[in-house]
Chains A and B, each alone.
Chain A
């Protein structure tokens, strides 16, 4: 089965840029999505089709996907961005999630 690998944790200082990676075999040949999940809340889609932002998602969130790695970039990170982030891809007709990355803003 297809697997997506994320770092367990990433730290960033407020106002700086955070990058969260997601690795999978030939991931660049698939579309990647990203979700934010704050404690006690349901996931929120922040990036779809590699680099598109849903309505209401701030411009500081961006995505890219090439080769074996998809990347979520948060520019000018704010305290409110502290959350768990999950990547997701499609493998045939099934959905695959990465293990999640805890973003700490300190």
Chain B
């Protein structure tokens, strides 16, 4: 059974840093692109970042570029999101998600349960 389990969320002050983790199991983690998506409670989904199979290709939403870093450790089957210079508008539930194996047009076929990040003074 495919499982994605996020951790690392919490309450912190503006300007702070946090690293989220996503532990993957039940599939061959190293052959999938992986994503982070966030959602302000009660609002819509917002894509954050994407990373390829070996970590050599990453893409970010403009809103987090230069502040967030996505990475992965295939030996540990774990995806990460390092978040620096956090702002109140980064407050959201952060989901990790797996991209489908299809070459083009794949959706995000498995999602974790999410971890809440709250940035407030």
Contacts and interface: CB of A to CB of B under 8 A. Distances in A.
B105 A45 contact: no
Interface residues of B, number: 24
Interface stretch (B14-22, B67-75, B82-90, B107-115): B107-115
B62 interface: yes
A86 B106 contact: no
A35 interface: yes
Contacts of B45: 35, 37, 43, 86, 88, 97, 100
A54 B106 CA distance: 10
B26 to A, nearest CB: 14
A48 B44 contact: no
Interface string A4-42: 000000000000000000000000001101110100001
28 contacts: A33-B105, A34-B107, A42-B95, A42-B112, A43-B37, A43-B97, A44-B111, A45-B107, A45-B109, A48-B105, A48-B109, A49-B102, A49-B104, A49-B105, A49-B106, A49-B107, A50-B105, A54-B107, A86-B44, A86-B45, A88-B45, A90-B105, A93-B50, A94-B59, A95-B47, A95-B108, A97-B45, A97-B46
Interface of B: 35, 37, 44-47, 50, 59, 61-62, 95, 97, 100, 102, 104-109, 111-114
